[in-house]
Each structure stands twice: as structure tokens, then as C-alpha cells.
Homo-oligomer: A and B are copies of this chain.
Amino acid sequence: MKIKDTETLMKTQFLNIKATQYEDTKGDEKFWVWVQRTGGRRAVVIAAVVDKGMIEIQPKVYQRDLRLVVTKEFRVPMVDYEYGFPAGLIDGEEDPVDAATRELKEETGLNVTRVLRKSPFIYNTAGMTDESIAMVYVECDGELSKEGLEASEEIDTFLMTPAEVQTLLEDDTKKFGAKAWMVMSNFVRYNEI
């Protein structure tokens, strides 16, 4: 495929609608309409656990007692609540780990204590948008708090055991963010994130 030209069809405060003219694999001229966050801003999504120490699950068999940080947030496009993870836009040149630390604090009150790993910037749905996010996997501690929330945010936070996450995933009245669903499934299967 050959990219020719991109024009902006519409600008709004947070999203710009773009049309890119291209030549498809047969040589036909086509347009692809897609969406860009204004300023090309990137985001972080935070997979976080609180480590409560070891528990004895059978006589003399111990495993880590981890709680996954799960958010329930009203999402206007869904006209519903989404079960997911803390997330937010990166400010300017902010490092993804710093953004994750800041957003976790703002949205839940929790403090990052250890960074387990992070992804590069990965693409949410590349047919529709060039939006990319970094997944940041952390351990955290502290008390849950809503003090850092903005008026546009309606977020509840839960600290959930693997069994509680499994029950939540089995509830077909609940809706989930895709990345959160995948980490939640891992947490149930492997007791880690």
C-alpha cells in the first residue's frame, strides 16, 4: 500500500477525525477514515497488585496473597460502567512509569512500591486510531481514596482476590476493558499479573 495524503475532516477538543488517501494492493485509490487524540497524546494503563504476604492454601503449601486493583468507571460511549484498570493520559514528556504512578495515586489513592515490568507503546485498535498506550505492571500499597478524582471521573476501586476476580469475570451482566479482561484472566489462572 502507498500512503498519499492525510487531511483533517473535523477537529474537536480531544479527538481529530482524519482521512488518509492511499493506494490499495490492487492500485486503486481509497480513503481510510480514522481518529487521532489531539496532540497525539499517549496513555498508560496500570495493572497493579497489593501484596498481602503469604497464605497457607493447603497444609504446608503457601502462596502469595495478592489483590488486584480493579476499577469500575462510568464510560459515556458505553452508557454503562466498565470494569477495568486505572489509566490516564501522559503529560508532555512524562515517563510512562511516572504517569502510571501519578494516575494510580489520583484515581485510587494507592502508591506504587515496585515496577514489575512495562510494555512499549502498543496500539488499542489500529484500524480506527493511532492511539497507543503503555501497560505498566506494578505492586502498590496504601489506602483507597477518591480525593484525586476529577469531576469528569466517576471511579470506584476494588482490591480483589483471584477468586473474586473469577466471580466477576463469570458475571455476564458486567462489561470489561479488553486489556483488563486479559490481565484478570491471567490473575485467575496464574495468581500473578
A residues sitting closer than 8 Å to B (CB atoms) are 1, 3, 9-10, 12-15, 17-20, 22, 24-26, 28, 30, 32-37, 74-79, 82, 84, 119-133, 135, 149, 151-154, 172, 175-179, 181-183, 185-186, 190
A178 touches B35 (CB 8 A): no
Tell me which residues across on chain B come within 8 A of A132, comparing CB atoms. 178
Cα distance, A161 to B1, chains bound together (Å): 29
B24 touches A152 (CB 8 A): yes
A1 touches B178 (CB 8 A): no
Cα distance, A65 to B9, chains bound together (Å): 49
B17 touches A178 (CB 8 A): no
Known: A123-B82, A178-B178. A33 touches B20 (CB 8 A): no
A78 touches B186 (CB 8 A): no
B122 touches A131 (CB 8 A): no
Q: Which residue of B lies closest to A172 (CB)?
A: B120
Known: A76-B20, A78-B126. A151 touches B28 (CB 8 A): yes
A178 touches B129 (CB 8 A): no
